[in-house]
Amino acid sequence: MKILHLCFDGHGLNRFIPIFDHFYPDRNIWYVTEDKKNAHRMSNIEGDNIHWLKPWINKDYLQQILELSKHVGIDRIVCHGITGFYLEILRLLFEEKKYKVYWLFWGFEMYRALGFSGKMRLIDNASPFNPMSYIVPTKWACYLWKNILGHKGYEKSLMDFLEYADYFCFWLYEDFLLLQKHYPNHLEFRHFQYGARWKDTGADASMPERYFEKKPRTIIVNHQASTTGNHVTVLKKLKSFKGIKDYQITAPLSYGSRMVRRTVSCWGKWYFRDKFHALVDYVPRDEYFNIVGSVEVAIFGQIRQEAAGNLVFYLANGTKVFMREESTLFQNYKKQGFIIFSFEHDLNSVEDLVGLTLEQKQHNARVTAANTFYYEDFMPSLLDD
């Protein structure tokens, strides 16, 4: 078996190349697309089996990959995402023969298509008069991209890709169901998770109580300056609560959209004055986790699937979490048995911002441990026929 990987620079490339090399030694060939906007590569990787792609400069990359596939006998293709470059590669290779194609799902490909097509609402208050409607995937942004900028559209790219793919590889089955609902296809679901654990690290269900200690009346809103975070929706709801002035509200904004960073900072200061703190500067990792780990309540405004790593951190560490009911993550966490709360129906006053009891915190820690995934359980059979 020889495996051709098509992936982007970044997205944890330094971490998951060793994982595939561990389970499929001497079988992996990596074609990594560099980010056109970055002056330097984000991933520090080298090797005879690693090839860096600059398709906008190197115009003969398609012929190189075709010759490589014939020379080494590639029979598996793993797509770590979807892009027009990868579609061109698949079209060319499939002229030679059919391959098994494994789509390692992230989320942006499907949600971007759903948003641009108008099949799913990603932000609140989307309208032709809301500037965010032209930044976030919406039908108004789609009109701008297609009719003014000449873009072919992400939905077509997704649908074209689905003609080649055989396996949808992800850990969140609800996202697979969402894809099947809007884009019926022949794909088979395979469990895969970039951020799994190794069995020798274990999973501790007996979280020390010191991890559950929280600063009273502290709230954190979202995990970054995400364009689909609906920060203002969350802040407006909190502003309507009598007694909210006694709470400290933090919004991590160091990573993400500069427009969102400015907008949220302005609204937060306007609403809450010195009780609002925007984390706009990068801080050391340990300091950041000390900040976010001490908050009593976390509120996430995303409708789409986003911030899973942050959410699991909060649930495991005793933070009370509110989420949007439409989120596939919310649906999955409820199914797993987490004590988690609806932004729409459970958050109505400051009384609802009271933190979890010790018993509830311990319950969520146990559910986290029970739902821990290990590489050894799914990686050996991931690429089976």
Instruction: Give residue 93's pLDDT.
Output: 92
Helix (H, G, I), strand (E, B) or coil at 101: strand
What is the pLDDT averaged over residues 16-40?
85
Domain shared by 228 and 162, yes or no: no
Domain shared by 113 and 181, yes or no: yes
Work out the pLDDT band at 71, boundaries 50, 70, 90. confident
Domain shared by 35 and 161, yes or no: yes
Domain shared by 103 and 167, yes or no: yes
pLDDT single digits (tens) 233-248: 999 999 999 999 999 9
Looking at the whole model, is its pTM more than 0.95? no
Contacts of residues 355-359 at CB distance under 8 Å and 24 or more positions apart, as own/partner, are 355/214, 355/216, 355/296, 355/297, 355/318, 355/319, 355/320, 356/318, 356/319, 356/320, 358/209, 358/212
Helix (H, G, I), strand (E, B) or coil at 357: coil
- Evaluate if residue 48 carries a pLDDT over 90: no
For residue 251, tell me if it sits in a domain.
yes
Domain shared by 54 and 108, yes or no: yes
**C-alpha to C-alpha distance for 260 and 221, rounded to whole angstroms:** 13
Residue 190, domain extent: 3-200
Domain count, the chain: 2
- Evaluate if residue 303 carries a pLDDT over 60: yes
pLDDT single digits (tens) 101-148: 999 999 999 999 999 999 999 999 888 888 888 889 888 888 776 655
Of the residues 141, 172, 200, the one at which a domain ends: 200
Contacts of residues 176-183 at CB distance under 8 Å and 24 or more positions apart, as own/partner, are 178/110, 178/114, 178/328, 179/110, 182/114, 182/119, 182/120, 183/110, 183/113, 183/158, 183/159
pLDDT single digits (tens) 145-191: 665 555 556 888 999 999 999 999 999 999 999 999 999 999 999 99
Computed over every residue of the chain, the mean pLDDT equals: 90
Domain shared by 214 and 279, yes or no: yes
Domain shared by 65 and 174, yes or no: yes
Share of the chain above pLDDT 90, in %: 65
CB atoms within 10 A of CB 224: 19
> Is 149 buried (19+), middle (13-18) or exposed (0-12) by CB count in 10 A?
exposed
Domain shared by 217 and 356, yes or no: yes
What CA dihedral angle connects 50, 56, 61 and 62, to 10 degrees? Answer: 130
Domain shared by 239 and 191, yes or no: no
- Evaluate if residue 81 carries a pLDDT over 60: yes
